[in-house]
Chains A and B, each alone.
Chain A
Amino acid sequence: MSRDVGYNADHGLRWTECLPWIAAVAVFFVLPDYLSLGARVLTYILFALSLDLILGYAGIITLGHAAFFGFGAYVTGIMAAKMGITDPIIQLFVSGVAAGLLGLITGAVILRTHGLTQLMLTLAIAALCLEIANKATLLTGGADGLSGVVIAPILGQFKFDLYGKTAYLWCLTMVFGGWWLIRRLIYSPFGVALTGIRENSTRMHAIGAPVYWRLVVVYTISAAIAGVAGALLTQTNQFVGLNVLGFEPSGELLVMLILGGVGRLYGAFVGPLVFLIAQDYLAKQFPEYWYFGIGLMLVIVVLFARGGILGIIDRLVDRFKAKKA
C-alpha cells in the first residue's frame, strides 16, 4: 500500500520495510563481484531519496537537482585532490553542508516563483553550475575531470579496497542514515504540512502556514542529502567529471524516480536499482536503443502507468486481494 502520511498514520516499521536492508546485506556476501555496481546503485538511491523528498512530498518540480549532487561531488573531489583533505567523514560532512548552503541560497530565490518560471530557474541554476565547472579548469579539471582524488581509510581503519567492499558498506551506511532521517521527516508534522502544500497550497496559506519557509527548509535538506550522495560517488570512483552536472543527470534521476514510483519513499530504492542494472547490461551493447528505451519508458509510464513499478505492484496486490475476497 502506498505510504500513509498523516495524523492517524501508522508510522511503525512494517516488515516489508526491512526487506531492502536484508537484500543489501545479502548482496554483500552473495555477489562479491558486483559490489562496485552495488555502490553505484546505493549512491543513486540516496540521490533519488533526496529528490523524492521535494518532488514526491513537497511537490517541487526540478530539472536541475544534479546541481547539488555535482556540487557535493566536486567539493569532495577538490578537497581530496587539491587541498589534501582526505578523511572521508569530513569530506561527506563538508560536501553536505556546502550543498545545503547552495540549496538554501538557490531555494530562497526560486521558491518565490511558480510554474514555468520556477522550472526554468532550476534548469538555469544547473546549467550555471555546469558552466562554472567547465570553465574553472584550474579547480575542477574542466572537461577532463578531476583525478588524483585520494580517500583516506574510514576512521583510520577501513581502507577503500579494490574489490569495492569498503565502498559498498560505506554507501550502505550512508543510505541507511539518509533513509532514516527522511522517513522521520515524512511522518512528522512538518512532513504532513509538506503534503498539504503539495495538495493544496491555497488552503495551506489560508490556515496560516508559512508555506514559503517550509519549502525553503525542505529544499535545503534535500540539497544537502544530494550533496552527500555526490560526495559518495566521488569517493567510490576516486574521480569526478562533468557528467555529474547539468540537465542530463537530473533528467536521468527523474526517470529513475518515476520508474520506481514518486512520493512513496521506496520508489527511490526500486527505481535506481532497476534502471542502473538495466543500464549496465543494455547500455553498453546498444547505447542508442537504451537511450531511446528510457525515453519511451517515460512516455509510457506517464500515459499508462502512473505510480511506476510500485504503483503496478500495488494494483496487482489489490487485484489479488479482491480475488481472494
Chain B
Amino acid sequence: MSAVLETRQLCKSFGALTVAEKIDFRLEAGARHALIGPNGAGKTTFVNMLTGRLAPTSGQIFLAGQDVTRLPQSGRVKQGLGRTFQINTLFRNMSVMDNVALGVAERHGVAGSMWRPAAAHRAVRDEALALLDTLGIADDAGKRVIDLPYGKQRLVEIAIALGLQPKVLLLDEPAAGVPSMESERILQALDTMPKDIAILIIEHDMDLVFRFAKRITVLVQGEVLCEGTPDEIAADKRVHQVYLGEQNDD
C-alpha cells in the first residue's frame, strides 16, 4: 500500500545549523501518527517543510505518490494537505462560521465569485455548519472567534483544516495552551475524525499522544531516533534517556 505522505532523506540547514537530518517518514491512509521529541528537535520545522512554508535544503516530499517538493502551499492544499498552527492563526474578528466557510468556499471554487452574496451560497454555509456540529461548536457559529474561550478557538482551528477535506491532516500541538479540563474536548474531536484521513499530530501532552496515536515517531535534534507502536516507544530505553527525562533513572 503506498503512503499518502512520504518524505525521503529530507534535510534542512540554516547555514551551519542543521535542523533536519535525512528524515525518512511515511504516513499511510487512516494513520493516527504522533511526532514527539524534546523542544528544539525540529518538529515544527518538519511540518513547515511538509506544508510548503519552508523549502528543504535537500530531499523529497511525496503526497499520494506525487512529488510536491517544489509545489507552493496553495498547491499542496489543493492536493489534500491541511494543517493547524501551534499558535491559533484564526480570523479573530470574524465569526466562527466565516472562519470555516472561507476554507470551504476555496475548496468549492466559489471564493472568487463577486456576484451573489456570500450568504446565498447555501452549500458552503451548510457544510461549514455541519463541520462545526461534528466538533460540537455549532452553537457558536455566529460568535466572533475572539469572544470564545481558548479551548474552543483551538477547535475552530481544527474545523478550518477539516473544511479543506484534507487527505492528510497535520496538527501542530492541538492541545497547546488549552487548560487541562478542556483538552478532553480536543481528544473527542480527534476521535470523530473521518477514518480515511491520515492524521499526524505533534504534541507534548503525553496523555493525548498515548491515547490517540497508533504509531509514534521520535525526533531528536533533527533526526529520527526511532519509530514504533506506543508500547514499543514507551519501552525503548533510548527514548527514556533522551526525552522522557533523566528522572526515570531508577
Please, which residues of chain B bring their CB within 8 A of the CB of A11? 117-120
**Assuming the A-B contacts A7-B118, A192-B102, A196-B102, are A209 and B91 also in contact, with contact meaning beta carbons closer than 8 angstroms in the complex?**
no
**Assuming the A-B contacts A7-B124, A208-B78, A208-B164, are A189 and B111 also in contact, with contact meaning beta carbons closer than 8 angstroms in the complex?**
yes
Instruction: Tell me, yes or no, whether B112 is within 8 Å of chain A by CB.
Output: yes
Q: Which residue of B lies closest to A193 (CB)?
A: B111
**Assuming the A-B contacts A188-B118, A192-B102, are A6 and B94 also in contact, with contact meaning beta carbons closer than 8 angstroms in the complex?**
yes
**Assuming the A-B contacts A7-B97, A7-B128, A192-B102, are A206 and B83 also in contact, with contact meaning beta carbons closer than 8 angstroms in the complex?**
yes
Please, which residues of chain B bring their CB within 8 A of the CB of A5? 118
* A187 engages B91 (CB within 8 Å): no
Instruction: Tell me, yes or no, whether A315 is within 8 Å of chain B by CB.
Output: no
Q: Interface residues of A, CB < 8 Å — how many?
A: 30
* A190 engages B113 (CB within 8 Å): yes
Q: Which residue of B lies closest to A188 (CB)?
A: B114
* A8 engages B77 (CB within 8 Å): no
Instruction: Tell me, yes or no, whether A203 is within 8 Å of chain B by CB.
Output: yes
Q: B101-129, CB under 8 A of A: which get 1 and which 0?
A: 11101110011111111111100110010
Select which of A187, A203, A208 is within 8 A of B118 by beta carbon.
A187
* B118 engages A192 (CB within 8 Å): yes
Q: Which residue of B lies closest to A195 (CB)?
A: B94
* A202 engages B95 (CB within 8 Å): no
Instruction: Tell me, yes or no, whether A283 is within 8 Å of chain B by CB.
Output: no
Please classify the interface of chain A as helix (H, G, I), strand (E, B), loop, or mixed, using the class held by over half of its residues. Answer: helix
Select which of A187, A199, A200 is within 8 A of B117 by beta carbon.
A187
Select which of A8, A188, A189, A200 is within 8 A of B91 by beta carbon.
A200
Tell me the chain B residues, 56-84 only, with Cβ under 8 Å from chain A.
73-74, 77-78, 83
Please, which residues of chain A bring their CB within 8 A of the CB of B107? 208
* Complex CA–CA separation, A286 to B120 (angstroms): 52
Q: Which residue of B lies closest to A212 (CB)?
A: B74
From residue A7, how far is it (CB to closest CB) to chain B in Å?
4
Q: B84-98, CB under 8 A of A: which get 1 and which 0?
A: 010001111111011
Instruction: Tell me, yes or no, whether A210 is within 8 Å of chain B by CB.
Output: yes
Please, which residues of chain A bring their CB within 8 A of the CB of B141? 8
**Assuming the A-B contacts A7-B125, A208-B74, A208-B77, are A203 and B91 also in contact, with contact meaning beta carbons closer than 8 angstroms in the complex?**
yes
Instruction: Tell me, yes or no, whether B142 is within 8 Å of chain A by CB.
Output: yes
* A207 engages B106 (CB within 8 Å): yes
Instruction: Tell me, yes or no, whether A9 is within 8 Å of chain B by CB.
Output: yes
A-B contact pairs, 7 of them (CB 8 A): A11-B117, A11-B119, A187-B117, A189-B114, A199-B94, A206-B73, A207-B160
